[in-house]
Amino acid sequence: FFEDIEILAEAAHINDEAAQIKAAIRYADLDEAEVWQTLTAASGGDWDAFVIAVKDLYPGCEGADRYCRADLQYLVQDYRAKAMRSQDELGEYRRKFMKISAPLIANKKLADTERDAFFLDGFPRAIADRVRHRLSIIRADLHPDDAYPMEDVMDAAKFLLTGAALHELLANPQEGRDHSRQQGLSSAPRQPSGVVVKQEYSLQAQRAAQRHPGCAFCRDLTHYLSECEHVTTYLQAGKIIRGPNGRLCMPDGGPIPRVPGVFFLSGDE
């Protein structure tokens, strides 16, 4: 900003530093201008002193440490949660990304490959999945462990945010998410269909093995429950009754006490 003021002042042949200070305050944002006017240097005629005084209001605005990796991570997380529907929004993301990543790379706090990975991570899921799919075809020679170069990602994103491709993307915003979910399901181990049949057969065989031959009421092997004389005797005596479903039960309608696999009629009856 201050460099622009100096260039414009030089082009307009303005050598009065006090006039430069007034111009800087006039063209600054209203909130910022109100603060700058309170500076002692704002009422003087020393341009350099004014610039230093203003920069003191913004710690970290200069120097190698004005950005850190966390700043880049916050930006990526912020844009990943936003919608991206045009190339203008794509350009805005790229400018803000480069503003932070360029100083980090220059000061060896971020590698080029890390920058490339961060950049793609900042796209909404639906767009990021389509970009990866497109680049997997275009850059088929790229090693799986390497991130797609930032410029290639930009080219793919521009293509997706244009014309028919953009219309299709907006019409199916969940496609990328659904595609990822399908990939997760398809990667899960499938159980062979024969296992289900085998398990069902085993269960039926178990149940059949638990059944006792002959009458379940009196233990006689020569007949079954439906032909048992003891059942008739108990019914006539009122010791048992048949419920609405035809099953034998106690006179109060409750089930006949028994342990699974043990006969109804006890040995002393």
51 and 74 in a common domain: no
- Whether residue 60 has pLDDT greater than 80: no
pLDDT of residue 73: 95
CA 204 – CA 196 distance, rounded (Å): 12
Q: Could you report the per-residue pLDDT of 4-50, keeping only the tens digit for each?
A: 888 888 888 888 999 999 999 998 888 889 999 999 999 988 999 99
Number of domains in the chain: 3
Q: Does residue 103 sit in the same domain as residue 148?
A: yes
Give Rg (Cα) of the chain: 41
Q: Is pLDDT at 194 greater than 50 in this prediction?
A: no
Average pLDDT over residues 188-194: 44
In a domain? residue 86: yes
16 is a domain residue = yes
Same domain, 21 and 78: no
* Residues 73 and 51 reside in one and the same domain: no
Q: How many CA atoms lie within 13 A of 263 on its CB side?
A: 20
Q: What share of residues in the chain are helix, strand, coil (percent, to 5)?
A: 60, 0, 40
CB contact at 8 A, 189 and 197: no
Across 27-36, 75-84, 163-172, 243-252, least confident range: 163-172
**Residue 52 and residue 76 in one domain:** no
Check pLDDT > 90 for residue 127: yes
CA distance 231 to 265: 9
Say whether pLDDT at 90 is over 80.
yes
Q: Same structural domain for residues 39 and 94?
A: no
Q: What pTM did the predictor assign?
A: 0.48
For residue range 234-267, list pLDDT tens digits in order. 888 888 888 777 778 888 777 776 544 444 555 4
Same domain, yes or no: 144 and 109: yes
Measured distance CA(81)–CA(220) in Å, rounded: 75
pLDDT at 228 (0 to 100) = 84
Q: Considering the domain boundaries, does residue 237 fall inside one?
A: yes
Phi–psi pair at 211, nearest 5 degrees: -75, 140
| Residues 20/5, Cβ–Cβ less than 8 Å | yes
Domain of 23 in residue numbering reads as: 2-56
Same domain, 168 and 200: no
205: amino acid identity, one letter: A
In a domain, 254, yes or no: no
Q: Are residues 84 and 147 in the same domain?
A: yes
**Tell me, what's the pLDDT at 213?**
62
The answer as to whether 262 is a domain residue is: no
Q: Is residue 187 assigned to a domain?
A: no
Region label for 215, one of left (φ > 0), alpha (ψ between -120 and 50) or beta (otherwise): beta
Residues 52 and 81 in one domain: no
pLDDT for res 134: 94
Cα separation, 47 vs 21, in Å, equals: 6
Report the 10 Å Cβ neighbour count for 153.
Answer: 23
Instruction: Verify that 167 and 204 share a domain, yes or no.
Output: no
Within this chain, do residues 114 and 148 fall inside the same structural domain, yes or no? yes
